[in-house]
Structure formats: C-alpha cells, structure tokens
C-alpha cells in the first residue's frame, strides 16, 4: 500500500511483506506491527504462514480478517488444483475481482511454492516478480530496494529477507523488527 493510500484511508493496517527467491530457496517474511491510523495496536502479529499442505507460504498486507478470508479461499483453490499454485492463484484472482463480497476485501498477498512466487491483488493482478524479489505493504518498496541491493551478494534468501526487513523498519513507521519468516527449498 502506498503512502497516499494510507493517508486516504487511515484505518488501513500498515505492514511490510517481502519475498526473495535465491539459490533454490524462496523465503517470505513480514513484520509484526499492526497499526490503526497512528496507533500501534499489536507488535507481534504473524502475517506470514504456511498454507495448503505446507508446500505453499504466504504473507499479507491489509486488513487481517480480509487476508484470512483470502488465505482460506486460496487453500480451497489449492485443494481443487493440487500442486498448481499459479492456476489456484488465477482462479482466486478471478473470484476476488468478480464476487460482490470478495471485491470489498482490502488486502494484498504474496504467495510462493518451490517453483513460483506471486503477488495477488484485488484488482485481478497475479504477478510473478522480476529478479526473484517482491515487496508489498507500507514498507514494501523499502524492503524491495534493500533486497535487490543484497541479492547478488553472499547472503541466502532468508538472510536477505531478514536484513531487508530490518532496513525497512528503519525507514517505515508502520514496520517493526518483530519478523516472521517462512522458507521452502526447491525439489
């Protein structure tokens, strides 16, 4: 979410979610801060989790209840299309865009399995990130810039995510250093 979106809707929950794919590993990390307007209401929320049978990881930015609804819907799509994250994500995006209830959900997601990383939005976007990294949320661009600077160095995917989130926390007031990171290795 951009700073102008945050200003226009002070009830949005700012956060930072980042994914990095490097050396046969994909990692998704997120901070733990939940904010309403200028108030921190929780510092240790878990916005990154394993879904499906544990072979998909995901993180969300936006309204918590909306994100959990989307995770549940994605898990249902993964049950319909086992081992096909891209197809499940496209089917979710179709529903998200066309269903009257889902259209009102205010969240973004990053999901990944061993083969593909995707950014999902309520406008029907299913985007595979360039250069193996993507960030969402109020601090997403800061974390993404840091990750891109670190990706060609010696750090592995998880270490890049951890360091990039730490850098984002230095810049974005809606991001803290209480992070959750999940990772998967390619088969």
Q: Write a three-state SS string for 82-130.
A: CCCHHHHHHHHHHHHHHCCCHHHCCEEEEEECCCCEEEECCCCCEECCH
Measure the CA–CA gap between 56 and 84, rounded to whole angstroms: 10
Helices (H) and strands (E) in the chain, counts: 5, 11
Q: What is the average per-residue pLDDT within 159-182?
A: 97
Q: How many CA atoms lie within 13 A of 49 on its CB side?
A: 17
Average model confidence (pLDDT) for the chain?
88
Q: How many CA atoms lie within 13 A of 98 on its CB side?
A: 6
Q: What is the average per-residue pLDDT within 109-132?
A: 92
Q: How many CA atoms lie within 13 A of 42 on its CB side?
A: 12
pTM of the predicted model, to two decimals? 0.90
Measure the CA–CA gap between 32 and 76, rounded to whole angstroms: 26
Active site residues: 15
Measure the CA–CA gap between 160 and 67, rounded to whole angstroms: 25
In the chain, what are the domains? Answer: 3-177 (3.60.20.10)
Please give the pLDDT value at position 187: 64
The predicted-structure confidence for 52-102, as pLDDT tens digits, reads as follows 889 999 999 887 777 788 889 899 999 999 999 999 999 998 887 777 666
Statement: residue 9 has pLDDT above 60: no
């Amino acid at each position: 979410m951009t700073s102008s979106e945050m200003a226009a809707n002070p009830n949005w929950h700012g956060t930072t979610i980042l994914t990095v794919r490097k050396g046969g590993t994909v990692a998704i990390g997120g901070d733990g801060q939940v904010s309403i307007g200028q108030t921190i209401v929780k510092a240790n929320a878990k916005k990154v989790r394993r879904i499906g049978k544990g072979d998909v990881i995901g993180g969300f930015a936006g309204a918590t209840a909306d994100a959990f609804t989307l995770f549940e819907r994605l898990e249902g799509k993964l049950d319909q299309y086992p081992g096909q994250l891209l197809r499940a994500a496209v089917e979710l995006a179709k529903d998200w865009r066309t269903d009257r209830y889902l259209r009102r959900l205010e969240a973004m997601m990053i999901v990944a399995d061993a083969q593909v990383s995707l950014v999902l939005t309520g406008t029907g976007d299913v985007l595979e990130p360039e250069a193996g990294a993507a960030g969402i949320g109020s601090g997403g661009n800061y974390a993404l810039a840091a990750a891109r600077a670190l990706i060609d160095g010696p750090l592995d995917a998880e270490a890049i995510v951890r360091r990039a989130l730490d850098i984002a926390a230095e810049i974005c007031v809606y991001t803290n250093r209480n992070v959750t990171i999940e990772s998967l290795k390619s088969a």
